[in-house]
Structure 1
Amino acid sequence: MSTNTAVQAGRPSRRARGASSRPAGGRNELGTALVFILPALIGFVTFFLVPTIRGFYFSMTQYNILSTPKWVGFANFAKIGTDPLFWNALGVTIEYVILNIGFQTVIAILLAVLMQRLTQSTLLRGALLLPWLISNVIAAMVWFWLLDYQIGIVNQFIEWTGMNRIAFFGDEFWAIPTIAFVNVWRHMGYTALLVFAGIQTIPKYVYEAAAIDGSSEWNSFWRITMPLLRPVLAMVLVITVTGSFQVFDTVAVTTRGGPVNVTRVFQYYIYQKAFAEGQFGYASALSVILFIILAVMAALQLRLLRAGESDLA
């Protein structure tokens, strides 16, 4: 046997080398991953994708659940444009979102910075989540009793200080701010923890370098913390704005859209059209409009806040 023949015999073939370079059990790992993904995929298709497709279909029909859907095309959407209650619900919802998101975001950032600067207590950080762990309905009922005009402890304290009682949920001026306050109280701890997690990703040496250059705490907050928090704040704002546009529980439990429609938010109007008046086709069209509004707003927020970019890179 020649030397070349012996060398070739000692080398593995290309096919053998290719087979040995593949990770062992690659197909088994893919199959295992698919098994874990399958329950979530089934849930998504069953409870999100299929209802969404059916909602788009029903928005093109006249349907009252007791009869067969009748195709009407874009008639429901044309009706929405001339519906004064729709525009009222949209305006009320926007007012609520501005109040809720404005106060919730500012308070959450303040709490997150205080947690970062003043305490490392896990117990205190966990306590911030307690209001968020309470059901929306329970939180609304508790504040409904606390702020009651006749027996509420808050109004009793206001009267004790010499001021007049306030019909928090019954006054046209106070109703929406009160509902916004209840939901700010419930969600600010969760939002603060999200922002706090974002602050934890900012390297400490950035603050140390700024301190050496003579930067104050206030300047460091505006010139370091806020710019580097932009991707996290973008995500937080998308979540909170989307949730705020879908407020329902607090209104349903406390004011039921009153007084005089000043708290008839978008979701509650959809509920009334569907389950109180039986106009499921029209309610589906309203839901499609809400879906489009939320999709556009989320896209604009992500684009304007440059959520995919980071100043740390």
Structure 2
Amino acid sequence: MSTATKTAITPAINKRPRPTAGHRMAKLRDMKVALLFILPAMIGLVGFTLVPTVRGIYLSFTEYSILGEPTWIGIDNYTAIFKDELFWNAMKVTLQYVGINIVFQILIALGLALLMHHVAKSALIRGALLLPFLVANVVVALLWFWLLDYQIGIVNEFISWMGFPRIAFFGSEQWAIPTIAFVNVWRHMGYTALLIFAGLQSIPRQVYEVASLDGASPARTFRSITLPLLRPILALVMIVTVIGSFQVFDTVAVTTQGGPINATRVIQMYIYQKAFAESDFGYASALSVVLFAILAFVAFIQMKFFKGNQSDLD
């Protein structure tokens, strides 16, 4: 294209029609409609998230029971936390639970996702994997509490029939946390597998075809192609799983209530007991703020480590 032609076209491109008053009014109406749809969600966010969060942070610097007024005590609650042996025991128990839950849930979910992607093509089978996730946590906990009961549980009946000694799954310090982790893995593995399966679906087939032509084995293909391309979704799954694991409460509350001998007193259970059993809402708020800071730090580290906002497909 000649210079003269470019010079003639450029003013025509740059001369854009200015928005008229009608266009501005239409945009304003669209903005009002958009805000009208967003308003219920914003009310919920402010009323049920932002306001309680700010109030909780304020209460963490006070001594407060529900029967009186908050009394400002500064950082005394936070100082007491670092000297609290029960807090450190709760963190140790929580970390033990988180480690077991994350490892088994992600490994099993990854295996299920690969089976759904390569073997189980039926939508019925894929949907069946989500059934445990659709059941409330309390119902799942009660179900397994009965199934694993030491005296009448069908699992212990089977173990006894096999000639082995019965196991106090929820009543033993050794078995209680692994059992609670197993219950939650069973409930959430289908949902986690579905997230990973969605990531597998986004990987172009051409990549696998090229690897097959190059003679790559299935194990090499999985290690060199599937896992790197799944990194963003695995980072998301890790963050969601870690945050959910730190917040475990209902399964413990229904089954062991923190026992035996604090063996399952996870941090959420400890916060609940401080607030509602001992009416020490200021200290419980400080514990909640500490937990929030830990989760924010862990999520940040995970995003940086796994580079969850980047993809090898770009």
Runs (4 or more) in structure 1 with deviation over 4 Å come to 20-24
Measure the CA separation in 1 of the matches of 2:112 and 2:19.
Answer: 56
TM-fit CA distance, 1:217: 1.1
What are the equivalent positions in structure 2 for 1:161-310 lying under 5 Å apart?
A: 161-310=162-311
What are the equivalent positions in structure 2 for 1:106-145 lying under 5 Å apart?
A: 106-145=107-146
TM-fit CA distance, 1:25: 2.6
Unaligned runs of 5+ in 2: 1-13
Unaligned runs of 5+ in 1: 1-13
- For 2:62, the equivalent position in structure 1 comes to 61
Measure the CA separation in 2 of the matches of 1:15 and 1:116.
Answer: 52
- For 1:3, the equivalent position in structure 2 comes to none
Secondary structure at the residue paired with 1:221?
helix
- For 2:43, the equivalent position in structure 1 comes to 42
TM-fit CA distance, 1:15: 11
Measure the CA separation in 1 of the matches of 2:19 and 2:290.
Answer: 54
The superposition leaves residues 86-142 of structure 1 with CA deviations (integer Å, 9 ceiling, x where unpaired) of 000000000000000100000000000010000221111111110001000000000
The superposition leaves residues 27-53 of structure 1 with CA deviations (integer Å, 9 ceiling, x where unpaired) of 222222211111111100000000000
Measure the CA separation in 2 of the matches of 1:274 and 1:119.
Answer: 47
Measure the CA separation in 2 of the matches of 1:16 and 1:92.
Answer: 65
Secondary structure at the residue paired with 1:19?
coil
- For 1:18, the equivalent position in structure 2 comes to 18
Secondary structure at the residue paired with 1:144?
helix
Measure the CA separation in 2 of the matches of 1:230 and 1:16.
Answer: 43
TM-fit CA distance, 1:278: 0.6
The percentage of aligned residue pairs carrying the same residue is 60
- For 1:148, the equivalent position in structure 2 comes to 149
- For 1:92, the equivalent position in structure 2 comes to 93
The superposition leaves residues 63-87 of structure 1 with CA deviations (integer Å, 9 ceiling, x where unpaired) of 0110110000000000001000000
Secondary structure at the residue paired with 1:263?
coil
TM-fit CA distance, 1:16: 9.9
Measure the CA separation in 2 of the matches of 1:96 and 1:57.
Answer: 30
| Count of aligned pairs | 300
- Aligned amino acid, residue 182 of structure 1: V
- Aligned amino acid, residue 61 of structure 1: T
Measure the CA separation in 1 of the matches of 2:94 and 2:112.
Answer: 26
- Aligned amino acid, residue 78 of structure 1: T
The superposition leaves residues 264-299 of structure 1 with CA deviations (integer Å, 9 ceiling, x where unpaired) of 000000000000001000000000000000000000
Measure the CA separation in 1 of the matches of 2:88 and 2:96.
Answer: 12
- For 1:33, the equivalent position in structure 2 comes to 34
C-alpha RMSD over aligned residues: 1.6
Measure the CA separation in 2 of the matches of 1:296 and 1:16.
Answer: 48
- For 2:3, the equivalent position in structure 1 comes to none
The superposition leaves residues 155-185 of structure 1 with CA deviations (integer Å, 9 ceiling, x where unpaired) of 0000111100000000110000000000000
Measure the CA separation in 1 of the matches of 2:239 and 2:146.
Answer: 32
- Aligned amino acid, residue 137 of structure 1: V
Secondary structure at the residue paired with 2:18?
helix
Measure the CA separation in 2 of the matches of 1:202 and 1:33.
Answer: 34
Measure the CA separation in 1 of the matches of 2:19 and 2:279.
Answer: 64
The superposition leaves residues 203-257 of structure 1 with CA deviations (integer Å, 9 ceiling, x where unpaired) of 0000000000001111111111100000001111111100100000000000000
Secondary structure at the residue paired with 1:85?
helix
TM-fit CA distance, 1:26: 2.3
- Aligned amino acid, residue 80 of structure 1: I
- For 1:11, the equivalent position in structure 2 comes to none
**Bigger mean CA offset, 257-266 vs 27-36:** 27-36
- For 1:8, the equivalent position in structure 2 comes to none
TM-fit CA distance, 1:23: 8.2
Secondary structure at the residue paired with 1:261?
coil
Note closer, same or farther for the CA distance 1:206–1:15 as it changes in structure 2 (3 Å cut): closer
